Structures are given as structure tokens and as C-alpha cells.
């Protein structure tokens, strides 16, 4: 049985996905009926948990295509901060969808010295900021040797060394727009 694509949604729990707010996005991770009820009351839709289509998680999974747009409409009425602060107080799991800037501005990322900089040919500044290893060992520091490759940087190498293609075969692929 092939699963269909769900985007950022959990396949077996609803609602458990990213929702748009008035200023960005956040992830709502409702794991049980109590959390769903708390979320709905906070969102100003206390009738939703009583709707037979949404009463249990099984019902919500079955009716995901109906419920998710309804919730997205509700979440767009307020800011991400509103949802995060309010739902945290109610112990409903949620979190922000961070931009790259948000990630690097995060105090925990800064404290753990997680931002690293590597030379990169496509960066306008010559360097690109990356997230470093979360593993920190006092006597064995992580060393970073290479920045992320550019698109297609290793194509010839892989076609030749891994797939055993000669130059003519690789040229045919390139001329046909395959690589």
C-alpha cells in the first residue's frame, strides 16, 4: 500500500504539521484529545472537538483534508508569538518555523557555538554560514574540511568512478540534458 505525500504533516496524527500565522509559520503537534480540545478552545473554535468528524484522532486523520484548512484559517488570525506563548501555557506542543537568520540569532545556537563559516564559491561574501556539529568533545574537536558542493560538482567523478562511464558516455548524457 503506497503512502501518499502529506507535505509536512504527520501521517498518523492530526493536527501535527506547520500552520501559517499572520506573520510566519509554526508547527502544531497535537498528540491527544485533551491537547486538541485545549487548542480549539484557545483558537476560538470550541465546537470542533465535538464535531463527529474531528472527535478522535482517527476521525481527524480520516478528515484531514477538511480540518487542516479550517485550522489554517484560524491560525492566520494571530501572530506566531501569540500561538507559541498561549499554547505553551496550555501545554499544547508547538514551535516556530525558523528562518536561517532566526536559527543563527538563537541564544542557544550562539552559546553552543554552532554557527560555522566555510569558503564557498557561490557566496557573495566568499563564505557561507552553516550549522556545525552538535557533538562537542573536549579532547576531540570536530574539524570541517569541505563546504557543501555546488550543484553537479561531483557528477563526472561519480559517473566515472562509481558507474564506470567513459568520457563519451558522460558527454552523451550531458548533450541530452540528463546531467
List the catalytic residues: 10
**What is the C-alpha separation between 95 and 26, in angstroms, rounded?**
6
Distances (CA, A) of 1 to 4, 37: 10, 32
**What is the C-alpha separation between 26 and 6, in angstroms, rounded?**
17
Q: Read off the DSSP letter of residue 32.
A: S
Please check whether residue 32 is in contact with residue 40, taking contact to mean a CB–CB distance below 8 angstroms. Answer: no
Q: Is 28 helix (H, G, I), strand (E, B) or coil?
A: strand
**What is the C-alpha separation between 71 and 174, in angstroms, rounded?**
47
Q: Read off the DSSP letter of residue 162.
A: I
Question: CB-based contacts of 26: which residues, under 8 Å, 6+ apart?
Answer: 18, 19, 75, 80, 83, 84, 94, 95, 96, 97
Cell (9 digits) for 43: 483558537
Amino acid at each position: 500500500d503506497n503512502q501518499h505525500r502529506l507535505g509536512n504533516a504527520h501521517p498518523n496524527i492530526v493536527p501535527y504539521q506547520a500552520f501559517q500565522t499572520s506573520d510566519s509559520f509554526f508547527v502544531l503537534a497535537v498528540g491527544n484529545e485533551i491537547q486538541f480540545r485545549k487548542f480549539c478552545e484557545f483558537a476560538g473554535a470550541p465546537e470542533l472537538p465535538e464535531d463527529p468528524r474531528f472527535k478522535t484522532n482517527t476521525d481527524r486523520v480520516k478528515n484531514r483534508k477538511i480540518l487542516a484548512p479550517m485550522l489554517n484559517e484560524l491560525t492566520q488570525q494571530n501572530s506566531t508569538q501569540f500561538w507559541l506563548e498561549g499554547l505553551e501555557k496550555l501545554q499544547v506542543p508547538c514551535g516556530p518555523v525558523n528562518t536561517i537568520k532566526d536559527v543563527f540569532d538563537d541564544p542557544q545556537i550562539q552559546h553552543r557555538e554552532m554557527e560555522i563559516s566555510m569558503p564557498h564559491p557561490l557566496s557573495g561574501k566568499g563564505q557561507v554560514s552553516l550549522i556545525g556539529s552538535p557533538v562537542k568533545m573536549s579532547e576531540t574537536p570536530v574539524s570541517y574540511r569541505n563546504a557543501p558542493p555546488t550543484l553537479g560538482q561531483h557528477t563526472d567523478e561519480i559517473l566515472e568512478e562509481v558507474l564506470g562511464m567513459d568520457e563519451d558516455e558522460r558527454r552523451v548524457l550531458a548533450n541530452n540534458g540528463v546531467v
